[in-house]
C-alpha cells in the first residue's frame, strides 16, 4: 500500500508563515495560527511544504490501509486559505450556515479572506471537527 505523501517535518512554522505572500494572506495566516493554537491547545507542525497542522491521529481503514495525518490545520494557498477538518464537514451544516463566505470540499474549507467569516463560528467548527475526529481515532498533540 502507498504511504501518505504529506508527512510532518521539522520545518519552522513561523518562518513559513512569515514568508507567505501577499501581505493580506500572511496576516490572515498568522491570525489562523493564533486561532488554531488557542482552540486545539497544540503547537503547530509543518506537514509537507505548505500545511500547518495541529495534532495528529493514526487511522486504520476497513481496507487495511493505515497511516498518520494531521488532526486539523490550514494552508495559506495562493487562491484561498484552506482549512482542514478531519474527517470532513458532512455533519457540520448548521455551523457552516453561520460561518460566512466560504466553499467546501470533502475535508477542506476554502476562505478567501479571514474577515469574511465569523471567527467565533470558525473556532466552533475547529473544536467540533476535533471532537468528531476524537470520537473515531485517538488525537495526539503531534
pLDDT tens-digit series, residues 35-69: 999 999 999 999 999 999 999 999 888 888 888 99
Question: In which band, very low, low, confident or very high, does the pLDDT at 5 lie, cut at 50, 70 and 90?
Answer: confident
Cell triple for 110: 476554502
pLDDT tens across 22-39, in order? 999 999 999 999 999 999
Cis ω for the linkage preceding 87 (within 30 of 0) = yes
pTM of structure: 0.94
CA-to-CA distance for 8 and 19, rounded, in angstroms?
Answer: 19
Amino acid at each position: 500500500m502507498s504511504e501518505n505523501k504529506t508527512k510532518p517535518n521539522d520545518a519552522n512554522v513561523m518562518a513559513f508563515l512569515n514568508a507567505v505572500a501577499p501581505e493580506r494572506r500572511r496576516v490572515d495566516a498568522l491570525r489562523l495560527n493564533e486561532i488554531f493554537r488557542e482552540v486545539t491547545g497544540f503547537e503547530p507542525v509543518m506537514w509537507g511544504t505548505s500545511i500547518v497542522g495541529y495534532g495528529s491521529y493514526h487511522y486504520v481503514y476497513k481496507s487495511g490501509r493505515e497511516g498518520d495525518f494531521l488532526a486539523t490545520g490550514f494552508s495559506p494557498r495562493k487562491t484561498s486559505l484552506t482549512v482542514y477538518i478531519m474527517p470532513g464537514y458532512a455533519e457540520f451544516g448548521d455551523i457552516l450556515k453561520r460561518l460566512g463566505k466560504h466553499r467546501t470540499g470533502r475535508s477542506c474549507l476554502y476562505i478567501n479572506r479571514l474577515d469574511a467569516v465569523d471567527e467565533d463560528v470558525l473556532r466552533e467548527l475547529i473544536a467540533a471537527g476535533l471532537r468528531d475526529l476524537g470520537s473515531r481515532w485517538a488525537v495526539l498533540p503531534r
